[in-house]
Amino acid sequence: MFGLLKRKVAESLSEATGEPLNECERTIELPKGEFGDVASSICFSLAKKRKKPPQEIASEVAATLRLPDWVAKVRSDGPYLNFTLSSRFYSKLIEFILKEGEKYGRGKKKKAKTIVEFPSVNPNKPWHVGHLRNALLGDSVARILEFSGEDVERMDYIDDLGLQVAQSFWGYLNLKEKPSGKLDLWLGKQYVEVAKKFEEDKKVQEEVRQLLLKMEEGKGQEAQKCRELVEKCVAAQYETAFKFKIYHDVLIFESDIVRTIFEEGMEKIRKSKAIVKEKSGKNAGCLVAKMESEEFASMESPDKILVRSDGTATYTGKDVIFQMWKFGLLKGDFRYATFMRQPNGKECEMSAPKGTRACHGKASRVINVIGMEQAYPQKVIREILRSMGYEKEAENSVHLAYEHVWLEDEKFSGRQGTWVGYTADELYEEGVKRAQEKIKSEVAAEERGRIAASVAAGAIRFSFLRTSPEKKITFKWDSALSLEGDSAPYVMYAHARAQKIFEKGGKGRAEEGAELEDAEKELLKKIMLFDWVVSEAARQLRPHLVADFCLELAEAYNKFYNSCPILSAGDERIQERRLAINYASLVALKNSLSLLGIDALKRM
């Protein structure tokens, strides 16, 4: 609704000033304080063109402007034009939401597919809170894009041929201790021990490298056993994911990339004029991508090796091939098998040596959710695609970068085991424990457990997602799990309150021409912004915009609830109108929480 309102106001401004419609629309904003409901700053740009003070121009435009539909009056306040919305606008907004219901704010279906790849955690350890930030960011971005109408594929890349996995597999085969408890946690603790042996013992190093070679060849009992172990570890990691309502469509294993599309991808790379085989120097015999664009000009050694002199591909070489496949630039494809049926009822598939054909990949846009430290390799991938003639695919290769979660005095390290005590599972369990302590004792044990689980997951998700990706999170238990203030429980409680009133009084109905209380207007203006907030969050790939909106909406709802009696309004017309406003709030709160992956509880 805000988008439509902006367009109506912009059309009137364009007619009055002669300025282009899009320029007028860009000047429209929501003022703070008592300066109307919608404002325009267009008089600043007009002042430069007309060589007159912006205040004078604002007075002239306000006097001649044809009031658009839904606007009651316009006035000039200094250099600004401030518009006051009409009662008809508010009634039309309520009518629209009553009609749309839970579809309110949802975008029109688009044909183009977007792949969101996350979290790509090595399959030999549990998720720690740093991995969780990646997963929550990817999941929420996928939810927002999907709600906006995009066809989204949630993809997870499984690096089952990495050195870390080989080390863990060596430990699994050679150490006396056998798996117990949750497999990803057991493997993670074991990896810390194996990594130390690997650094200190040359015999262990040789055995691990021989094992890695067999894994890469993909033949024999060792390769099969390793794949089985990896799949079990990922299944254990996904037990963690499901606690936070994180789901995927398909897993792509590196071993399947190497055995299925690698050669075709390498052939394309070799044929590219932008990729050269060095004949001398330190890179002699290597296939090298020449990084010659301006953004690499200041670097001392910008060129990137894709294939080593021994014929093995670097990580960058494999990543370029995988990125080409995601865009459908390769003829080859994987076979797929069912990995598991997820708690949301949807099957998650995985690439497999044997299986059936399926329609994955072939996207118009690819969003890789990877840490900030991977900015350079991601730039290289885009530049290589561009140099190979894939300009459109390069432009649509998006690195959604994020800063990591830190302990108060150090980073998390898989090798050093500093994640122990800070796994996503432990965070969740602590959250459930704290939430249960705050739930009233008269609530039945089963329901208390269900509410505590939703509150814990919601509190953690909100804490992580409210921070914009480019900012660091220094993780602290108390602030992450606070059940008061600027938190998910604050928003969830507002929803539960609105739900309770809806159950007692119903949806209500709009009242044409009614004079609204200030709290009613402020709440409706906030609800009006929902579709615009979603579109901005989708455009910028920033879930924190939705989180901020949630808090503002909950605050506006609570003011409305406390100052405008609903069920005890007395006058039936007022009661019906406020029930309708309550329902509109309920819809906006529920949809906003859903975009963040947070349960909209009916009772708390």
Within a 10 A sphere around the Cβ of 374, how many other Cβ atoms?
14
pLDDT tens profile 205-254: 999 999 998 998 888 899 999 999 999 999 999 999 999 999 999 999 99
pLDDT tens profile 247-302: 999 999 999 999 999 999 988 888 887 788 888 888 898 888 887 777 776 776 77
Q: Record the pTM.
A: 0.92
Distance separating alpha carbons of residues 91 and 35, to the nearest angstrom: 22
pLDDT band at 601 (very low <50, low <70, confident <90, very high): very high
Element (H, E) at 415: none
Burial of 527: CB neighbours in 10 Å, binned 0-12, 13-18, 19+: buried
Distance separating alpha carbons of residues 84 and 102, to the nearest angstrom: 28
Distance separating alpha carbons of residues 303 and 282, to the nearest angstrom: 12
Distance separating alpha carbons of residues 329 and 290, to the nearest angstrom: 21
Burial of 257: CB neighbours in 10 Å, binned 0-12, 13-18, 19+: buried
Residue 598 contacts residue 457 (beta carbons within 8 Å): yes
Q: Residue 411: what pLDDT?
A: 56
Distance separating alpha carbons of residues 296 and 532, to the nearest angstrom: 37
Tokens of 154: 């949630």
Q: Residue 297: what pLDDT?
A: 66
Q: Residue 152: what pLDDT?
A: 98
Residue 462: which of 547, 559, 563, 365 has the closest Cα? 547
Which segments within 242-352 are labelled E, that is strand?
250-253, 275-277, 287-289, 304-307, 335-341, 347-352
Q: Taking 90 as the threshold, does the pLDDT of residue 557 lie above it?
A: yes
Most trustworthy range by pLDDT among 183-197, 406-420, 434-448 = 183-197
Tokens of 287: 């296939």
321 HSE (CA, 13 A, CB side): 28
Domains of the chain: 2-85 (3.30.1360.70), 113-406 (3.40.50.620), 424-595 (1.10.730.10)
pLDDT tens profile 340-373: 999 999 999 999 999 999 999 999 999 999 999 9
Q: Taking 60 as the threshold, does the pLDDT of residue 416 lie above it?
A: no
| Three-state secondary structure call for residue 81 | strand
Going by C-beta distance under 8 Å and a sequence separation of 6 or more, which residues neighbour residue 249? 153, 154, 155, 346, 348, 349, 360
Please tell me the chain's helix, strand, coil percentages from 3-state DSSP, rounded to the nearest 5: 55, 15, 35
pLDDT tens profile 79-116: 999 999 999 999 999 999 999 999 999 999 999 999 99
| Three-state secondary structure call for residue 182 | coil
Residue 506: which of 443, 440, 572 has the closest Cα? 572
Give the pLDDT mean for 549-570. 95
Give the pLDDT mean for 155-172. 94
Give the pLDDT mean for 596-603. 95
Distance separating alpha carbons of residues 410 and 421, to the nearest angstrom: 14
Q: Cα angle at 157 between 154 and 162, to 5 degrees? A: 170
pLDDT tens profile 175-190: 988 889 999 999 999 9
Burial of 379: CB neighbours in 10 Å, binned 0-12, 13-18, 19+: middle
pLDDT band at 414 (very low <50, low <70, confident <90, very high): low
Comparing 437 with 20, the larger pLDDT belongs to: 20
Q: Residue 443: what pLDDT?
A: 79
Q: What is the mean pLDDT of the chain?
A: 91
Tokens of 217: 């060849």
Q: Residue 275: what pLDDT?
A: 86
Residues forming beta bridges with residue 243, ordered by sequence position: none
Q: Cα angle at 250 between 247 and 251, to 5 degrees? A: 100
Residue 174: which of 152, 145, 197 has the closest Cα? 197
Q: Taking 80 as the threshold, does the pLDDT of residue 442 lie above it?
A: no
Q: Residue 150: what pLDDT?
A: 96
pLDDT band at 59 (very low <50, low <70, confident <90, very high): very high
Within a 10 A sphere around the Cβ of 278, how many other Cβ atoms?
15
Distance separating alpha carbons of residues 428 and 457, to the nearest angstrom: 6
Distance separating alpha carbons of residues 57 and 46, to the nearest angstrom: 8
Q: Taking 90 as the threshold, does the pLDDT of residue 537 lie above it?
A: yes
Q: Is it true that the peptide bond before 119 is cis, omega within 30 degrees of 0?
A: yes
Distance separating alpha carbons of residues 409 and 176, to the nearest angstrom: 34
Give the pLDDT mean for 530-551. 97
Q: Residue 250: what pLDDT?
A: 98
pLDDT band at 552 (very low <50, low <70, confident <90, very high): very high
| Three-state secondary structure call for residue 285 | coil
Q: Residue 483: what pLDDT?
A: 67
Comparing 253 with 312, the larger pLDDT belongs to: 253
Q: Please provide the DSSP assignment of 135-148 as one string.
A: HHHHHHHHHHHHHT
Q: Taking 70 as the threshold, does the pLDDT of residue 338 lie above it?
A: yes
DSSP type of residue 309: T
Phi, psi (5° rounding) for residue 158?
-110, 110
Give the pLDDT mean for 314-332. 93
Within a 10 A sphere around the Cβ of 217, how many other Cβ atoms?
13
Over its C-alpha atoms, the chain yields an Rg (Å, rounded) of 28
Which segments within 257-415 are labelled E, that is strand?
275-277, 287-289, 304-307, 335-341, 347-352, 365-371, 397-402, 405-406
Q: Residue 422: what pLDDT?
A: 81
